[in-house]
């Protein structure tokens, strides 16, 4: 009798790389070219109409936002970021001839919050304010939300509290917007949140509560405290539709920006988008909007730190063990320690993961050293200041073109035949508000990584 050798499947190789905190790529076997128009997760179904409704809400509040945030006066209250050509960065990334063109979606420049969290966070606070404004008769239906800037309206909103648990950037978005509208604002932060973020919030009149332990602990503590106060709205990063739909509205604007720059998205010209992922709400919202709006030829990949690949392990569990799993990165022997503080999350949002099953193309991981090296290269080639979390997407194109798993995916999708006409879009998700002393430290680490790699 012969005993069969255990087979080393690609999945076993991938699992080993994940456990060893080595950069890895997972591609989604369940992606559908033509997903249903309405998709459900956590018992609710959403469609592009909900994305449009979120966008319309942001529009209704633009006048008020321009009034309460001086930095939004120039854009008349619109919070948006430019789509920038990043061809000048391609040589530093080791770009091969015929690999296509690189762009960045510059959410690192988003005003008010300084990160992608401006999109979802602002939307959720505004949705809460809108409900109260109508309920208390502060604004007539169809009326002007600038009424909410009056002392009488602010006094009413001031009876309510907005709370959130955050590693930093979500707190900066929710806290600053809520406080600016007159709400009591409370941000529950994990021990690893950066001191300058806590300071900035306190300066804006936000109450910062510090918790020992990681992001999940801060969220749980905040959720429990909020549940005890009926006047409190808790922004739940792990299961909020309002946040997710706020993020998804980015797709509507991006579609116009692509058209304005003459970038087609079709079978001959695929668009591959690389999105840094923490709990998954922001990249899932954007992926939802883009897939529903642009169709089968837009491909979205999430990027995570090698020590915090919560979305990858969630998608792998869903694909192999069926839904109902909720693994954490600790289960995989990982530490969840990363300088990419916006991405330091041990367990994925089940809302995001559920929605992404038919939509997402894949997830890859990046070592922290690489994030710092990219941050330097982005500054040197483009003059843009991004934070470590925001650099995660830049490893995407090489993950596809330079690894066995990536090349297999390119062949399988047929994109290898049109790679020279492919648009690669890296979403740079934060950076604007990073203090100079912090940024100099990032550069120092990045330059020593680059020197060591020759």
Residues that bind ligand PLP (CB under 6 A): 115-117, 169, 276-283, 342-343, 387, 389-390, 429-430
Nearest approach in angstroms of CB 356 to ligand PLP is 11
**Which strand (E) or helix (H) includes residue 27?**
strand 25-27
Residue 420 CB, shortest distance to ligand PLP, in Å, is 30
Give the long-range contacts of residues 190-195, CB within 8 A, separation 24 or more: 190/165, 190/166, 190/214, 190/215, 190/217, 190/218, 192/167, 192/341, 192/344, 193/166, 193/167, 193/168, 193/218, 193/341, 194/168, 194/341, 194/438
- As measured in angstroms, the least distance from the Cβ of 431 to ligand PLP is 8
Question: Please, are residues 407 and 372 in contact by the beta-carbon 8 Å criterion?
Answer: no
From CA 441, how far away is CA 376, in angstroms rounded?
11
Find the shortest distance in angstroms from Cβ 236 to ligand PLP: 12
Question: Least separation, in Å, of the C-beta of 1 and ligand PLP?
Answer: 51
Q: What's the closest the beta carbon of residue 146 comes to ligand PLP, in angstroms? A: 29
- For ligand PLP, which is the closer residue by CB, 334 or 386? 386
- Which is closer to ligand PLP, CB of 160 or CB of 372? 372
Q: Nearer Cβ to ligand PLP, position 146 or 347?
A: 347
The CB-of-166 to ligand PLP minimum distance in angstroms stands at: 8
Q: What are phi and psi of 26, to 5 degrees?
A: -115, 135
Q: Terminus-to-terminus CA distance in the chain, angstroms?
A: 53
Tell the burial category of 108 from Cβ atoms under 10 Å away from its Cβ (0-12, 13-18, 19+): buried
How far, rounded to the nearest angstrom, does the alpha carbon of residue 367 sit from its chain's CA centroid?
18
Shortest Å distance, C-beta 348 to ligand PLP: 8
Q: Cβ closer to ligand PLP: 168 or 270?
A: 168
Residue number with CB closer to ligand PLP (21 or 282):
282
Q: What is the radius of gyration, based on Cα positions, of the chain?
A: 21
Residues sharing a CB contact under 8 Å with residue 425, sequence separation 6 or more, in sequence order: 83, 102, 103, 104, 105, 271, 272, 273, 274
Number of helices (H) and strands (E) in the chain: give both, helices first.
17, 13
CB closer to ligand PLP, 318 vs 387: 387
Residue whose CB is less far from ligand PLP, 119 or 211:
119
Q: CA quadruple 165, 170, 171, 176: dihedral positive or negative?
A: negative
DSSP 324-338: T----GGGGT-----
Q: Between 27 and 115, whose beta carbon lies closer to ligand PLP?
A: 115
Among 231, 221, 116, smallest CA distance to 170 is for 116
């Amino acid at each position: 009798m012969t005993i069969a050798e255990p087979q080393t499947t690609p999945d076993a190789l991938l699992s080993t790389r994940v456990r060893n905190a080595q950069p890895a790529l997972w591609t989604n076997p369940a992606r559908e070219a033509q997903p249903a128009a309405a998709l459900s997760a956590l018992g609710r179904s959403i469609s592009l109409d909900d994305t449009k409704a979120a966008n319309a809400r942001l529009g209704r509040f633009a006048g008020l936002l321009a009034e309460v945030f001086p930095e939004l006066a120039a854009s008349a209250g619109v919070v948006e970021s430019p789509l920038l050509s990043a061809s000048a960065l391609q040589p530093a990334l080791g770009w091969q001839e015929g690999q296509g063109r690189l762009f960045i979606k510059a959410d690192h420049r988003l005003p008010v919050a300084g990160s992608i969290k401006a999109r979802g966070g602002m939307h959720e606070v505004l949705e809460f304010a809108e409900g109260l404004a109508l309920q208390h008769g502060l604004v007539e239906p169809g009326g002007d939300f600038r009424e909410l800037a009056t002392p009488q309206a602010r006094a009413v909103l001031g009876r309510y509290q907005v709370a959130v648990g955050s590693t930093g950037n979500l707190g900066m978005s929710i806290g600053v917007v809520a406080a600016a509208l007159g709400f009591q604002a409370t941000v529950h932060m994990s021990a690893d949140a950066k001191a300058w973020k806590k300071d900035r919030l306190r300066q804006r009149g936000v109450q910062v509560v510090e918790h020992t332990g990681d992001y999940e602990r801060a969220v749980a503590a905040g959720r429990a405290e909020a549940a005890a106060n009926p006047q409190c709205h808790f922004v739940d990063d792990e299961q909020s539709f309002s946040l997710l739909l706020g993020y998804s509205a980015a797709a509507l604007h991006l579609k116009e920006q692509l058209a304005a720059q003459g970038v087609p998205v079709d079978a001959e010209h695929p668009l591959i988008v690389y999105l840094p992922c923490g709990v998954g709400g922001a990249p899932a919202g954007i992926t939802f909007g883009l897939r529903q709006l642009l169709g089968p030829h837009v491909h979205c990949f999430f990027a995570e730190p090698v020590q915090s690949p919560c979305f990858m392990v969630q998608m792998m569990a869903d694909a192999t063990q069926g839904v109902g799993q909720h693994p954490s990165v600790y289960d995989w022997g990982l530490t969840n320690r990363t300088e990419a503080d916006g991405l330091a999350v041990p367990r994925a949002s089940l809302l995001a993961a559920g929605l992404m099953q038919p939509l997402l193309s894949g997830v890859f991981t990046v070592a922290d050293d690489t994030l710092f090296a990219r941050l330097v290269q982005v500054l040197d080639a483009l003059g843009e200041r991004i934070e470590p979390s925001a650099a995660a997407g830049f490893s995407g194109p090489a993950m596809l073109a330079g690894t066995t798993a990536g090349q297999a995916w390119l062949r399988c999708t047929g994109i290898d035949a049109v790679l020279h006409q492919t648009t690669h879009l890296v979403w740079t998700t934060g950076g604007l508000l990073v203090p100079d002393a912090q940024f100099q430290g990032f550069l120092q680490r990045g330059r020593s990584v680059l020197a060591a790699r020759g």
